[in-house]
């Protein structure tokens, strides 16, 4: 199964803007029109999740394991009933990195952080916990009417810049938008490009095989994130492909989305909690690319102080030489 095969079934278009309404939508994902009844016609169902008390992640609940510790931060979780059923991932990306490779990736990352980190960070770190997790994201396809403005050096004549503007149709394919609350924004931004969304997916993992984070909001509630991602992509295309000249600035775009179709996907990552000199730190390794690691690590106060002292000494020597030769 590929991600292209997991499009959510479409229903009647929105009565106000004509956007595609999908099963599970409670509002139009484009104009936010409230639907009179759930589009799938089903009564509200009782949904339980395991909620982390520290990072607020909602994890898939399994009665066999009850409320386990959070796979993202290790804190205790509590069972919570949601008032509305959350969206469910329809496609799980394959985890091609195993636990041993994730451990090795952490060591390589620690050794690459530079001179201002502790010299024994890699050797003295101890992994407290390593857990394979799947975090949620929406993958969108859409069309849009894009209006754009910007400045370019083309046609500027005697001036440095000349204004340009235009309109165009754009198609967005496989635009990925993170939906995780447990991972930080910088973590999801670093990870998102490491996944092959065209690779064959896998079945939903069993409770013993990993932790699955649930979607927190409906597709319509994420439209601001989707619109921001589409605008950033559109602005990059306008600057690279549509604006003449060699230099551009002040590129602004406004767009109207149409035919918004969604894939709800779950992406694998290893969350590692490691301890150095009694303090706990976290790192995240992509489940498909062991070279993609992001995390937090301690600084070496001694090395920073030594560098500052060396810099101060150098400045003192330079000042003394300047005084000597300036007499």
What CA–CA distances, in Å, run from 237 to 11, 89, 224? 31, 30, 20
Identify whether the C-beta of residue 216 lies closer than 8 Å to the C-beta of residue 86.
Answer: yes
Q: How far is CA 58 from CA 61, 100, 129, 317, in A?
A: 9, 27, 19, 58
Helix or strand or coil: residue 84?
coil
Q: Using CA of residue 314, residue 315, residue 320, residue 325, what is the dihedral sign?
A: positive
pLDDT at 78 over 90: no
pLDDT given at position 151:
96
Q: What is the mean pLDDT of residues 265-269?
A: 93
* DSSP structure class, residue 246: S
Confidence of residue 228 (pLDDT cuts 50, 70, 90): confident
Position 118 pLDDT exceeds 50? yes
The pLDDT > 70 percentage for the chain reads 77
| pTM as predicted | 0.75
State the CB neighbour count (10 A cutoff) for residue 191: 26
What SS3 state is found at 151?
Answer: strand
Comparing 203 with 242, which gets the higher pLDDT?
242
Question: Cβ–Cβ contacts within 10 Å for residue 3, how many?
Answer: 21
pLDDT single digits (tens) 194-226? 998 877 788 877 766 778 887 766 666 667 788
Instruction: Give one DSSP letter per residue of 8-28, joined into a string.
Output: PPB-SPPTTT-PPPBTT-SB-
Q: What is the mean pLDDT of residues 84-101?
A: 84
Residues 74-91 have a mean pLDDT of 66
pLDDT at position 4: 42
Cα–Cα distance for residue pair 270/187, rounded to 1 Å: 12
Q: Where are the domains of the chain?
A: 87-296
């Amino acid at each position: 199964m590929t991600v292209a095969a997991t499009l959510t079934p479409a229903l009647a278009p929105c009565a106000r803007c004509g956007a595609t309404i999908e099963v599970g939508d409670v509002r139009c994902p484009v104009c936010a029109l409230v639907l009179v009844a759930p589009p799938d016609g089903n009564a509200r169902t009782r949904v339980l999740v395991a909620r982390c008390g520290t990072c607020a992640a909602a994890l898939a609940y399994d009665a066999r394991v009850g409320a386990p510790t959070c796979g993202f931060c290790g804190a205790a979780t509590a069972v919570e009933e949601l008032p509305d059923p959350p969206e469910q991932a329809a496609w799980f990306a394959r985890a091609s990195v195993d636990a041993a490779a994730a451990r090795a990736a952490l060591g390589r990352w620690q050794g690459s952080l530079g001179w201002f980190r502790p010299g024994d960070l890699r050797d003295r770190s101890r992994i407290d916990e390593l857990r394979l997790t799947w975090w949620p994201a929406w993958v969108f396809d859409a069309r849009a009417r894009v209006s754009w403005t910007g400045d370019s050096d083309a046609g500027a004549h005697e001036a440095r810049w000349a204004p340009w503007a235009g309109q165009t149709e754009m198609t967005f394919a496989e635009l990925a938008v993170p939906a995780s609350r447990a991972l930080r924004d910088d973590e999801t931004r670093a990870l998102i490009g490491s996944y092959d969304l065209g690779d064959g997916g896998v079945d939903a993992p069993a409770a013993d095989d990993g932790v699955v984070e649930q979607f927190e909001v409906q597709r319509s509630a994420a439209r601001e994130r989707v619109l921001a991602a589409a605008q950033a992509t559109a602005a990059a295309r306008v600057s690279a492909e549509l604006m003449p000249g060699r230099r551009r600035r002040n590129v602004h775009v406004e767009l109207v989305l149409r035919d918004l179709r969604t894939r709800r996907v779950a992406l694998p990552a290893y969350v590692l909690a490691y301890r150095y000199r009694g303090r706990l730190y976290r790192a995240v390794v992509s489940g498909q690319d062991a070279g993609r690691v992001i995390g937090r690590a301690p600084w070496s106060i001694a090395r920073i102080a030594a560098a500052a002292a060396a810099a101060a000494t150098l400045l003192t020597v330079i000042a003394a030489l300047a005084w000597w030769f300036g007499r």
